[in-house]
Amino acid sequence: MLDFNSAELQNEGTGSAIPEDSIVAFKMTIRPPKAGKEGTTHNLFCKSGKGNEYIDVEFEAQGTFAGRKIWQNFTLVGSDQAAKISMRTLRAIVESARGIAPSDASPAAAAGRQLSDWADFNSLVFLAKVKCVVEQSQKDGNYYVNNEFKKIITLDDEEYNKGEYISDKPLPPVPAAGEKVATTSVAAAATGGAWGTTAPGAPAATTPAATKSTAPVPAWAAR
């Protein structure tokens, strides 16, 4: 049993967006570890060179940006501080997907924050505000506009029932290869946020059967 009731509440991050401050639904998938990267805690856990264990997650946008993806690792074993941050975000994802307000301490909400296994995260659909970052690829040296989560949108956010919102703010400029960008980080291969292939009009995925909130189902979520 995975119980997210004791995990900390998320804090809203800082930064810009993709386009800045757009709100998009995402489908979550935990990717199995590659050969030689297997952890010992769970068959979906990967092990880093430092011995920490983490889940390698792919988030696929739904709606207007269907097919675009963000990748992120969540450390869960080996670093208490990193694990707290990971659990905080994962709790918010569960709450967003299941329509649970973070402040709701009712028995129904407590049950809704519980998952029977890490695999239950697969296919959860939740709402998030995103930001964009300009990063340099280690593979080809080119710069790309990648995406990260700024905040997971939960039931207590006024945007929750409105669903998708695409901002009209422009994407940040991308430097030419060879130019230096003081505020960017180097994107590691297969980690961090990134765009995938655009496939407009793809249908939204549904979440797996689980304990659900009695809150009204928003139009963006097919639960």
In the chain, where the domains are located: 2-187
Q: What value does the mean pLDDT take over residues 218-222?
A: 68
- Which range has the worst mean pLDDT, 12-16, 41-45, 132-136, 146-150? 12-16
- Residue 4 backbone phi and psi in degrees, to 5: -100, 10
Is residue 10 pLDDT above 50, yes or no?
A: yes
pLDDT of residue 125: 97
| Nearest by Cα to 121 from 102, 96, 155, 94 | 94
Q: What's at 45, amino acid-wise? A: F
pLDDT of residue 25: 95
Mean pLDDT of the chain: 80
pLDDT in tens, 11-33: 443 333 468 899 999 999 999 99
